[in-house]
Amino acid sequence: MQAFSFFSLGTMLLVSIQEDIGDVEVSRMFDSLCRQVSEKKIHGVIVDLHNVEVVDSYMAGHLQGMEAALRLLHARMVVVGLSVPVVMTLTDFGIRLSGLQFALDVEHAVIKLEELLQHDRHG
């Protein structure tokens, strides 16, 4: 089974990450995501972490890198699905996810992305 999946939502892309994603797959996902955003003219990306039990510093760094790369490609990113144990672990280890946008679920993420994209257009 692949550690991540992409689902098209028009000009948005939903990225579902599985709990067993490793460092190599995170890098592969990052490359594939940037390629899809560029080729398919994606404006918003929702990263769904509800299946992820651990977000370590490597994954946190890649999430921040993805957000920065997507901005350069004129797209925005919202993260959903952080569980309470993941949030507690991030806090305990002092891992900050600064610069990232969060939403409770995919529905709220779509709304947030629409607002961010609207703001970017009218700036």
What CATH number corresponds to the domain at position 54? Answer: 3.30.750.24
**In the predicted model, what is the mean pLDDT of the chain?**
91
- Dihedral of the CA atoms 30, 32, 33, 38 (nearest 10)? 130
Instruction: Tell me the average pLDDT across 57-68.
Output: 91
Assess whether pLDDT exceeds 70 at residue 123: no
**For residue 28, what are the domain limits?**
4-122
Given this model, what pLDDT does residue 119 score? 87
Which H or E element spans position 12?
strand 12-17
Length of the chain as a residue count? 123
Which residue has better confidence, 51 or 1? 51
pLDDT in tens, 11-54: 999 999 987 788 888 889 999 999 999 999 899 999 999 998 88
- Portion of the chain with pLDDT greater than 70, in percent: 98
CA angle at 68 for the pair 64 and 72, rounded to the nearest 5°: 165
Instruction: Tell me the average pLDDT across 80-95.
Output: 91
- Count the domains in the chain: 1
